[in-house]
Every structure is written in structure tokens, then in C-alpha cells.
Amino acid sequence: MSKVRTIGADVWKHKTDKVSLELFTLMYGSIVSQLCDDFEHDYTKVNQQLDKMGYNIGLRLIEEVLAKTGLPRCHSFRETADAVTRVGFKMFLNITPQLGNWSVDNKQFSIIFPPGTNPLVEFVECYDERARRELWYSNILAGVIRGALEMVQLSCETEFVSDVLQGAAQTELRVKIIKVLEDEVPQGEE
Amino acid sequence: MGVLSIFILSKAGGLIYHKDFGFGLKKLNNSNDYLVIAGTFHSVHALTTRVNPLNTHSSGLLTMEMETCTLHCLQTLTGLKFVVVTDNNQSNVSVVSSTIYEIYSDYVMKNPFYTLDMPIRCHKFDRALNQYISTVE
Amino acid sequence: MSVAPRPAVPAKPSSSTPNFAHERNDSVSTPPPPQQTVYDRSLARKRGEVSLSAFAYIFSEAVQYCHSRSKDVSELEHRLNLLGRHIGVRVLELTVLREGKNAKRETRLMPMLQFVHTHIWRTLFNRPADSMQVSTEEQLQYMIIDHRPLVTEYISVPRDMSQLNCAALVAGIVQSVFSAAQFPCKVTAHSMGTDEFPDRTVYVVKFEDSVLKRV
């Protein structure tokens, strides 16, 4: 759908109030730091909390995506993936991560953030050994995607599989589409 | 004034927002009546999606014209309904509905004190909506 | 996870690092070039922008999280203030660093207030604060005024929590900027809307007595 390719950039340019990236990064960093303190550095719990916060955001953020773009329902998961990266990430974070590692049944894919593109980790370094192994710093994004897709009746699982903050070459977020929630599709939709 | 009333219905058909615009408009006697209108509309809308005998996709009720006013319905992919009642000369209602949707996505969705599917009680939403509606001819 | 200065440590040994045990070299062996780390990137350039919505969503979650852990409004404001403090120390360093050759360590109160009102606000919000006032009621008390704080743009506080101002986050940022610059104080955010500016917020900065020496 050609609309998907351009609408994200259009919304970013014309319909978006902007703030400094540093304010955003510092705010997120402050939240993660506070969670680490509150959960006494139990990074499994921090990851879960970040995912939960992201999920709550996703349930709400989808309305802005639909309101500002008027995007109709996607006809394939590939379209959905395109919408997530070219529209979603573009209009909120002004980035277009790459898509890759599609499974044969087209129900699983990866969202790949080349180093230096993820605004959440701008100037962040994880120097605590255990945090490097266990913390998924950007885990909020996993929750956001899961929540947003659920509101358009796509149930999915999302998890990070690699992160530059953990020393990997790139940051990769895996999305697995489980099923379409047929019962929840609003009357009048296909 | 073009826009007479706005109703917002949750996914489940509950009334989460209602506002009349303009002066001297009739009010229903019982505030419950508005809830009943919303619930009934939700069911009617669902009905209208089944009415289409053709083998095409049916969107369900989009507009309902009456002698002195028209009702327009925007249903989102997430199941929300924005129901806008206007006078019969109102043009560009689809723009009005989608702008109301945008205002909702800003001042309701980003409010940490708003719980999903509950009645909307956000004064900034009221303010932004009033400001917008007053500009609609 | 901070911007605190530390010697750069490579993430992991590069696979192309020569194995010195096997190297037979007459010249002095040079250490492998360190991998690019976060500390190699320049701070001088502004990093760009994201949408206000992105900030609003994460702040909204932060408010909800703090709310869930607070028994009352003042505890909630305190938690937001703490979140702001983490940001403040870093914003101070960043702002001063970006002044480059003009960077000056302020030791007098009025210039420091000006610095916060203008430069810190610009780093955070891309514009200076709207005004600054000296309190007539109390010594060492000043007000920084923002007509439309960006951080609370979409937040409608319910009537039963009307004393709450979520700009307590910004109050925390300001407090830690002053404190890190050796002007210890307490900062609180107050909603004082007018007809023209219904969201007008006043940050009341009350300095400790020790600052009297530097007025």
C-alpha cells in the first residue's frame, strides 16, 4: 500500500508537535533507573514492568495512529509490519527501523534497529555486568507494539532477542502473530 | 451552529461522552436516557452491518437523515464510535468526526487519570473540543 | 545507565583483535583500537527530535506508576520530583557543555536564575521560560513562570486531586540543576491559571539560607 510508505513521514512533518530528543531520552532513562531501584535490581521484574507500561501505552497510542492517518485495516501481516515500522515508529520517534527475518508462514518477523537509531538508548551505556546480561532496556517498545496490535484485533507476542546495550551488533525485536481476534472485530469490519 | 451534539461510544456500546452544543437545545429528562440512546444505537449499528444483501463488505450505518438534523457515525478500527449530530446543511462532517477523534487521542488517551472505556471527565478534552466546534461553520 | 563520565570500556573484545600470544613482532605492539563506545560520540550536537506524543505517553505511564506507589498527592508529587532530579543533573552538564567557549560557571544567584530561565529551559523545551519574578513575601524565594508547560499539555487532573500538579517533574529538574550548581533549594510547581493562560504554572524556588552569601 503506497499510502503506508508516505503517510508516516507526512504526519511527522505536518501533524506532529515535537520535543527535544534529549528530554525524551532522559525521561525514559529516569524511569528505567527508578524501576531498577524500586525493584532492587531484579531485572526480570524491571523488564516485566517496562513491558506492562508499554502495553498500556500501546492500547492508547493506536488511536492516535488511526486518527491521524486514517489507515484502513491491513490485509496481510506484511502490511501490518510495514505500518508498524513506516508509520508507527516514524510518526512518534522519527525513525524507520528495518524489517527482516520473516518466517515461512509470514507470521513472525523482526524489527531491527541499526546501532545509533534507537532514540531510547541515546547516550546510554549499561556497565553493570548483570544488567548487561538481563535487562532489556527498550522493553517498553515490545509492550507498545503488543498493545497497539491487540486493539486492532491482532494478538501477538513480542520480545527482544538482541540489544546493542548488551554488546550485540544490533537491536532486534521479534514479533510473533498468534491469531486474529475474530470475535472482537467491530461489527461492520471485514 | 453546525454541530448540535456529540456522542462517544466505547467498544462495548457504553456511552462515555455526550455534549450538546449551541443554545436552547432540548435536554432529555433523565440522564439515563442518553445511556439508553447510546446502547440502542450500538445495537442498531450492528444490525445495519447485516442488512446488506450484496456480497460486499458493509460498513454499517454511516448517516441517518431526519427532517431537521442528520446523524453521522464514525466507527474506528478499535470499535469506538464517534456520533455527531449536525443540522442538515453541515458539510465536511467526515473532517469534523476525524478531528474529534484526534482531539480524543490527544486529551483523553494521554491523560494518566483516564481509565479506558470509562466516562470521559477530562477538562482539557472539553476545552479543546469546545474550541474546535466553535470554529466549525 | 547514565552519562556520568567514566573511562571508555570496550563492550567486548573484537574478533579481529590480534592475538598477541602468537604475534612475532619486533616493533612495539600497539593495543587494538577500542571499539566505538557511547563516550566517543560528541555531545555538542543537538540530537534531534521526537514527537511530543512519545514523551506524553511515557510521562503518563510514569505518573500512573508513581500514583500506584503513593498514598496521597504529596507523595505522588515527591516521586515525580525525584524522577526530575535524575534528569536535572544531566541537563545541567549538557547545557553548560554546549555553551562551549562561552561556558561560565555561575556563582551568583541572579545570573544562575537567568541561566535556568533561559538556557536550561531552551535545552529542555526549545524556548526560554515565560518570566521570572522575585517573591515579595519571602526572602530567597523566586518564581519561574511557564504559561503552557509542555509536560502537562494533555494531563487533566481530576477534581478530587486538584492540588496535584504533574509539573512536579520539572520542579525536580530545576531543583537538581540549582543544587548541582551549589545553590541548594526546594522547588515546587503550582497551577495558577489565568483566563489568557489557563495552564499557567509557577515554579516556586526557595533557596536555603547558605545561598545568601551568593546573592
Please give the tally of structural domains in chain B. 1
> Shortest Cα distance from B93 to chain C (angstroms)?
25
- All domains of chain A in start order, with CATH: 2-180 (3.30.1380.20)
Q: So what's the pLDDT on residue A185?
A: 78
Rounded-to-integer distance, Cα C177 and Cα C171, Å: 10
Per CB-CB distance under 8 Å, the chain A contacts of C90 are: 26
pLDDT-derived band at C20 (thresholds 50, 70, 90) equals very low
Nearest of C5, C6, C9 to residue C36 by alpha carbon: C9
- Chain A positions touching C150 (Cβ under 8 A) are 19
pLDDT higher than 70, residue A121: yes
Confidence of residue A186 (pLDDT cuts 50, 70, 90): confident
Burial of B128 (0-12, 13-18, 19+ CB in 10 A): buried
Check CB contact of B102 with chain C, cutoff 8 Å: no
Query: With contacts defined as CB-CB under 8 Å, which chain A residues touch B78?
Result: 62-63, 66, 151-152, 186
- Whether residue A56 contacts residue A49, with contact meaning beta carbons closer than 8 Å, is answered with no
Cβ contact A188–B106 (<8 Å): no
pLDDT digits (tens, 9 = 90+) for B60-119: 899 999 998 999 999 999 999 999 999 988 889 999 999 999 999 999 999 999 999 999
ipTM value, please give it.
0.95
* Phi, psi angle pair for C94, to nearest 5°: -65, -45
CB-CB: which of B110, B113, B125 is closest to C157?
A: B113
Q: Tell me, what's the pLDDT at B94? A: 92
In chain B, the residue whose alpha carbon lies closest to the alpha carbon of A74 is B77
| Residues of chain C with C-beta less than 8 angstroms from the C-beta of B112 | 59-61, 63-64, 67, 155, 166
Structural domain span for residue B71:
3-135
pLDDT confidence bin for C25, thresholds 50/70/90:
very low
Tell me which amino acid residue C117 is.
Answer: H
Q: Which of B60, B80, B102 shows the shortest C-beta gap to A68?
A: B102
pLDDT at C8: 38
pLDDT per position as a tens digit, C43-72: 777 778 999 999 999 999 999 999 999 999
Residue-level pLDDT at C100: 81
Per-range mean pLDDT, top range of A67-76, A119-128, C206-215: A67-76
Cα–Cα distance measured from residue C86 to residue C2, given in angstroms and rounded to the nearest whole number = 9
Q: What is the pLDDT of residues A56-81, one digit of tens each?
A: 999 999 999 999 999 999 889 999 99
* Average pLDDT over chain A, rounded to an integer: 92
Which residues in C lie closer than 8 A to residue A24 (C-beta atoms)?
50, 54-55, 58
Q: CA nearest A188 in B: which residue?
A: B59
B 58-117 → A contacts, CB under 8 A:
58-60, 75-80, 98, 101-102, 104-106, 109-110, 116
User: Is residue B102 within a helix (H) or strand (E), and if so which, with residue range?
Assistant: helix B93-107
Q: Is B43 on the interface with A (CB under 8 A)?
A: no
Q: Which residues pair with B72 in a beta bridge?
A: B63, B84
How many angstroms separate the CA of residue B124 from the nearest CA in chain C? 6
Which among A173-187, B70-84, C86-100 has the top mean pLDDT?
A: B70-84
HEC string of chain A equals CHHHHHHHHHHHHHCCCEEEHHHHHHHHHHHHHHHHHHCCCCHHHHHHHHHHHHHHHHHHHHHHHHHHHCCCCCCCHHHHHHHHHHHHHHHHHCCCCEEECCCCCCCEEEEEECCCCCHHHCCCCCCCHHHHHHCCCCHHHHHHHHHHHHHCCEEEEEEEEECHHHCCCCEEEEEEEEEECHHHCCCCCC
Q: Kindly report each contact of residues A68-73 with a partner whose C-beta sits within 8 Å and lies 24 or more positions away, as own/partner.
A: A68/A11, A68/A15, A68/B102, A68/B105, A69/A7, A69/A8, A69/A11, A70/B98, A71/A3, A71/A4, A71/A7, A72/B77, A73/A152, A73/A189, A73/A190, A73/B77
List the grid coordinates of C46: 543537538
How far is Cα B21 from Cα A8, in angstroms, rounded to an integer? 34
**pLDDT score of C5 more than 60:** no
Region for A189 from its dihedrals, namely left if φ exceeds 0, alpha if ψ lies in -120 to 50, beta otherwise:
beta
Q: Which residue of C has its CA nearest to A124?
A: C1
Full 3-state SS string of chain C: CCCCCCCCCCCCCCCCCCCCCCCCCCCCCCCCCCCCCHHHCCCCCCCCEEEHHHHHHHHHHHHHHHHHCCCCHHHHHHHHHHHHHHHHHHHHHHHHHHCHHHCCCCCCHHHHHHHHHHHHHHHHHCCCCCEEEECCCCCCEEEEEECCCHHHCCCCCCHHHCCCCCCHHHHHHHHHHHHHCCCCEEEEEEECCCCCCCCCEEEEEEECHHHHHHC
**How far is A62 from chain C, CA to nearest CA, in Å?**
12
Which H or E element spans position B97?
A: helix B93-107
Q: Round to whole Å and give the CA distance between C66 and C53.
A: 20
Give DSSP secondary structure letters for B12-59: TS-EEEEEE-SSS----SSHHHHHHHHHHHHHHHHHHTT---SSS---
Q: How far is C98 from chain A (nearest CA, A)?
A: 13
Is residue C15 scored above 60 in pLDDT? no
Which chains have at least 3 CB atom pairs separated by less than 8 Å from chain A? B, C
How many contacts, defined by CB atoms under 8 Å, are there between B and C? Answer: 38
* CB contacts, 8 Å: B110 with chain C: 53, 56-57, 60, 153-155
Chains meeting C at 3+ CB pairs closer than 8 A?
A, B
Instruction: Provide the CATH number for the domain around residue B111.
Output: 3.30.450.70
Fold category of C50-214 in CATH: Muramoyl-pentapeptide Carboxypeptidase; domain 2 (3.30.1380)
pLDDT-above-70 percentage for chain C: 82
Work out the mean pLDDT of chain C and round it to a whole number: 85
C-alpha cell at A152: 486492532
Please list every residue in chain C whose beta carbon sits closer than 8 Å to the beta carbon of residue B123.
Answer: 156
Asked if pLDDT for residue C102 goes beyond 90, the answer is: no
Helix (H, G, I), strand (E, B) or coil at B88: coil
Query: Which pLDDT belongs to residue C23?
Result: 41
User: In chain C, what are the domain boundaries?
Assistant: 50-214
Q: Does B123 touch chain C (CB under 8 A)?
A: yes
Any CB–CB contact under 8 A between B11 and chain A? yes
Interchain proximity B109–A64, CB inside 8 Å? yes
Q: Is C56 on the interface with B (CB under 8 A)?
A: yes
Q: Band the pLDDT of C18: cuts 50, 70, 90.
A: very low
